[in-house]
A and B are shown apart, each in its own frame.
Chain A
Amino acid sequence: MSATVDSVTPKTSNDGLPWSLWLRQIAAILRLEIEKNFLGRRSILIYLITLLPLFPLLVLAVFTPPGNEWRDFSKYSTIYAFLYNGLILRTVVFFGCAWIFMNLFRGELIDRSLHYYFLSAVRREVLLVGKYLSGLITSIILFTGLTIAAMLLLYFPHFSSQSLRFFFDGQGLTQILTYAGITMLACVGYGAFFVVVGLFIRNPIIPALLLYGWEWLNFLLPPLLKKVSVIHYLNSLVPVPLSEGPFAVIAEPTPAYIAIPSMLLVTALVLVLSAYRIRHMEIRYGSD
């Protein structure tokens, strides 16, 4: 009875792998997952997290706080650097990625709907790639959008003409693109971590909080341990470096040509681990 359909017969390419079938399957998974990520019940929390930094910026747009630094355009790079580092990168992107990526599999186990994927003629590794990409697209759209919107919202209300020059003739464009790039890289790295956590650990909140603590305490760690974190590589890339305080252990930032490939390599390794896990995963909703 099997449907003899050309469109689903795996056609192998020169390397012997059915890439066109896999791409079609990934596209189908992306459609399902992105809709779920943006319109599902769980997306409400993501929108709230994403909008969090915009509320103070909206207030700032209307009321200028007392203090000379708020009237000095040259200080805004540093103000944004603080806002980005403390609120956007370490809080919104971190917890946003935790929510999006951990729910890719854990959420479906809770909803008891993961078996529909497992009962489809799709390699589980392809399913992993599809789901990871859907999380990546969702998080990049939301958090890169936030990164850009927050910067524009900080600069333009008070210094519109200076801001125009800054973004079109000065360092502004480079800075905004660099921050956007760092946000994307953060989504790639944190995303992979939270996917694997969601696959291995029943209650992923605890490892998420442990990583959160580790990332915040990164400034106190000796140089070697600093490198066992995501934030160290991301901080190495920021266009406006910030002081980490009097207690910080100073370490040389990792150059971009090492930081970016290192992050991508570690991400790839974590995804390989996730692929191994999902290949051997059982579905027992009762015990999940």
Chain B
Amino acid sequence: MTSIANQLIIFDDVSKFYGEILGVNRVNLSIAPGITSLVGPNGAGKSTLMNLMTGLLRPTKGRITLLGIPTDHPEALFRKVGYCTQFDSFPRGATGRGFVKSFLMVHGYDQKKANELTEIALERVNLVEAGSRKVAAYSKGMRQRIRLAQAIAHQPDVLILDEPLNGLDPMVRAETIALFRKLASDGLHLLISSHILHEVDMMSDRVVLLNNGYVVAEGNIHGVRNEMQEHPMQILIRCDDPSRLASHVFAQDHVVEARLHEDNGGLFIKTRDADSFYLLLNEVVANGEVNVESVAPVDDDLSAVYQYLIGTEGGST
């Protein structure tokens, strides 16, 4: 049990109140390695959750451990954890390189090792050239990247990133997502909050959906979607004989709606049991009754889950 706990981020019945205002309530989570995204609207509790797991805030109730380390032991915690916050502020007068290096030295590294780790971190975020310039002269995207460099410089096992893609141009976004994927494939825990749902969908192994301080869903996005029985799964099938396929589909209890396309080249269905539908479709295709051109789930993604559970289109969180 202990060895498993040492590999997980665990929230055990965690609540945080700011006076009488709710931050998060009764959060129970066990987060395994990989990329986990925190998603929710403004005030949902994403940053509160991140600040709680890094000890910047203390829970009103409950207990949090990261890889077995309680959050009130920063001296042990931050050997394994890096946190890139949303606070866009820096020590005055610091250069990018000096900023990263000085806090490595606060970690306890000697000059030589701090220099070495600083260069590795700057290289990872493509700021080697700009490292000698003052952070105050950086663009928003560069400031975001230098904060990321500072968070990863000591090579942590857990990386917590609050809106890390904010302010980055599309090219750098793609590079940064690739970096996250690389870090996750190296066995790191990455916890990311982002309001860009399609990017979250693209890079996350699992999501935690938050609303009004409560965790409303968590897990693999497709698993979460499958459990939402009250919202039947929508699937679009392009095929040569949609009427025949429709006749098979209508015989199934789990299918609640089936509609032929106007061009008679496809079928749109809503089902409460997508797995059973796919089995049926396989059978029909295997029998040679229908030739399928494409099958596309319409609402088996984070945006749809977000819309169903939280009730808005997402966007700014």
Contacts and interface: CB of A to CB of B under 8 A. Distances in A.
Interface of A: 1-3, 5, 7-8, 10, 21, 24-25, 28-29, 31-32, 36, 39-41, 111-113, 115-124, 126, 279-280, 282-285, 287
A17 to B, nearest CB: 11
B92 A32 contact: no
Nearest to B151: A119
Quick one: which of B78, B93, B106 has the most chain A CB within 10 A?
A: B106
Interface residues of B, number: 44
B213 to A, nearest CB: 16
Interface in B148-192: 150-151, 154-157, 183, 186-188
Interface stretch (B5-13, B49-57, B230-238): B49-57
A91 B280 CA distance: 88
A282 B18 CA distance: 11
Contacts of A112: 87, 89
Contacts of B82: 119
B85 A122 contact: no
Given A7-B110, A41-B92, A112-B87, A121 B78 contact: yes
A1 B74 contact: no
Contacts of A5: 109, 113
A45 to B, nearest CB: 15
10 contacts: A7-B113, A8-B113, A21-B108, A25-B107, A29-B106, A115-B85, A119-B83, A120-B107, A121-B76, A122-B75
A112 B91 CA distance: 9
B103 interface: yes
Contacts of A116: 91, 103, 150
Contacts of A124: 74
Nearest to A287: B18
Contact of B80 (A2, A41, A280, A285): A2
A21 B85 CA distance: 26
B140 to A, nearest CB: 16
Interface in B42-80: 51, 54-58, 72, 74-80
Interface of B: 18, 51, 54-58, 72, 74-80, 82-83, 85, 87, 89-93, 102-103, 105-110, 113, 117, 150-151, 154-157, 183, 186-188
B74 A123 contact: yes
A25 B106 contact: yes
Contacts of A117: 103, 106
Contact of A113 (B90, B110, B113, B154): B90
A119 B57 contact: no
B109 A31 contact: no
Contacts of B117: 3
Contacts of A115: 56, 85, 87
A149 to B, nearest CB: 28
Contacts of A41: 92
Contacts of B150: 116
A279 B72 CA distance: 8
B125 to A, nearest CB: 16
A42 B105 CA distance: 24
A111 B89 contact: yes
Contacts of B107: 8, 25, 120-122
Nearest to B107: A121
Contact of A120 (B89, B92, B106): B106
Which 5 A-B pairs rank lowest in CB-CB distance, beginning with the nearest? A28-B105, A121-B78, A112-B89, A3-B155, A8-B108
Quick one: which of B77, B83, B102 has the most chain A CB within 10 A?
A: B102
Contacts of B85: 115, 119
B110 to A, nearest CB: 4
Nearest to A111: B89
Given A7-B109, A121-B75, A121-B77, 5 more contacts: A1-B188, A3-B117, A7-B108, A8-B107, A41-B92
A1 B187 contact: yes
A32 B57 contact: no
A47 to B, nearest CB: 17
A266 to B, nearest CB: 28
Given A117-B106, A120-B78, A121-B75, A1 B157 contact: yes
A242 B156 CA distance: 61
B74 A31 contact: no
Contacts of A119: 54, 56, 74, 78, 82-83, 85, 151
A40 B93 contact: yes
B256 to A, nearest CB: 47
Nearest to A108: B91
Given A1-B186, A282-B56, A32 B91 contact: yes
Contact of B105 (A31, A282, A287): A31
Nearest to B89: A112
A164 B156 CA distance: 62
Quick one: which of A113, A116, A117, A123 has the most chain B CB within 10 A?
A: A116
B102 A40 contact: no
A280 B74 CA distance: 11
A98 to B, nearest CB: 21
